[in-house]
Amino acid sequence: MEFSPTSGRCSRGIRCTADIIGQCPNQLKAPGGCNNPCTVYKTDQYCCNSGNCAPTDLSRFFKARCPDAYSYPKDDQTSTFTCPGGTNYRVVFCP
């Protein structure tokens, strides 16, 4: 997946070309996809409902494959990008 601005002054676009479904950890596999750890475990460690959470082995698994992706609820430092209003984007699902 690629999500890139085509206008405006953005910090940058995002891109992930990893085969997440094909490499999905066994405990997260779902028919035709890969579940979010919060959906599977429903614990604060993975859902971060209390606001106190850190990266987990599973979030690090995804972050290693897609460094631009938001991999856990507090992953703002490396995965939050902003663009001004009116920016146009190009979205590619299979780069």
2-92 is a CATH 3.30.9.10 domain:
no
The secondary structure of residue 26, as a DSSP letter, is G
Instruction: Kindly state the tokens that stand for 38.
Output: 């919060």
Nearest to 29 by CA among 45, 20, 60: 20
Q: Give which of 63, 78, 65 is closest to 17, Cα–Cα.
A: 65
pTM more than 0.85: no
Number of other CB atoms surrounding residue 37 within 10 Å: 23
Provide the token pair at 14: 């995002």
pLDDT tens digit sequence for 31-57: 989 999 999 999 988 988 887 889 999
pLDDT at 42: 93
